[in-house]
Amino acid sequence: MNFVDIHSHILPKIDDGPPSLDIVLQMLRLAYRTGTRAMVATPHMFLPPFNNNDLAEIKHAFAETVQELGRWQSEPGWSFLRDMSLYLGAENYLSPEFLEALEHGRVLSVNQSFYLLVEFSEFLSFEMLISAVERILATGRVPILAHVERYPPFRESPRMLEHLCEMGCVAQLNGASVLRTKGRAQRKIALSFLRQGLVQVIASDAHEHRIRTPVLDQVFAALKKTFSEPDVIAWMFENPRRILANQSLI
């Protein structure tokens, strides 16, 4: 089994992810060595500091990165890049600019599927969040709520997350949150969400190769100690694979 990572920042110089192609290469090597064979590049879009609101620019940056990596495939020690599939998506920040782009069909879903990765301000009211989710669902897309364990409102009231899942959202958890290195509180809430059946997919949300890394094998090993193997396989293999293939989740 190979990991499919549906949330990662692997395009250089576009957001708070890798500052250079060299770091992208280090990230891909680390991901490959730890069992990942497919990654979705999900740069921040509609998030104010990065000003990435243009679909064409993001597509161009992705094509350019893929082309540069293609050149590296023939370099000694980098032939593994041939076995690493890269796809395009975006981490869409729920903002007025995003909602306008959504109306005009100018948003990037995961590998052109109906799954749309979204993030939002922790200060966004629940009513506003519900309204944005309704608007996404009305376009026939399925919101994937990124790193659900990071939002204080969900931590305080998991019922809010449950309600969003009942509406049709998919909840994504960052793998590293279940590791001891991320701190006790984060780990506790991540495990609690998993136990309550509030999470459908786990991804890395990698930003670089040292701290916020694309390593998923340690997460898989840690989860297998606590949860049933079919559950862990659903979160880390089956559902990510289905999202990429535009299929319903299990």
**Angle ∠(81,87,93) on CA atoms, nearest 5:** 130
Q: Which residue is nearest to Fe ion (CB)?
A: 205
Spacing of C-alpha 213 from chain mean position: 13
Measured from the CB atom, the residue of 121 and 228 that comes closer to Fe ion is 121
Q: Give the nearest distance from C-beta 7 to Fe ion in angstroms.
A: 6
Q: Where does this chain touch Fe ion (CB under 5 A) — which range of 62-70, 150-158, 197-205, 237-245?
A: 197-205
Comparison of 149 and 205: residue with beta carbon closer to Fe ion: 205
CB nearer to Fe ion: pick between 91 and 149: 91
Q: Is 55 left (phi over 0), alpha (psi -120 to 50) or beta?
A: alpha
Residue from 47, 81, 87, 91 touching Fe ion (CB under 5 A): that is: 91
> Do the strands 115-119 and 142-145 form a parallel or antiparallel pair, or are they unpaired?
parallel
Nearest distance from C-beta of residue 46 to Fe ion, angstroms? 13
How far is residue 37's CA from residue 4's CA, in Å, rounded to a whole number?
6
Q: Is 205 in the site for Fe ion (CB under 5 A)?
A: yes
Which range touches Fe ion (CB under 5 A), out of 19-27, 90-98, 190-198, 225-233? 90-98
Q: Are 90 and 146 in contact (CB under 8 A)?
A: no
Q: For the sheet containing 85-88, what is the strand order?
A: 3-8, 36-41, 85-88
Q: Return the residues of window 161-180 that contact Fe ion according to CB under 5 A.
A: none
In the bound state with Fe ion, the residue whose beta carbon lies nearer, of 97 and 231, is: 97
Nearest distance from C-beta of residue 59 to Fe ion, angstroms: 18
Stretch that binds Fe ion, among 33-41, 181-189, 193-201, 204-212 (CB under 5 A): 204-212
Q: Minimum distance between the CB of residue 4 and Fe ion, rounded to whole angstroms?
A: 16
Q: How far apart are CA 40 and CA 50, in angstroms?
A: 19
Strands (E), 84-174: 85-88, 91-93, 115-119, 142-145, 170-174
Give the binding site for Fe ion (CB under 5 A): 91, 205
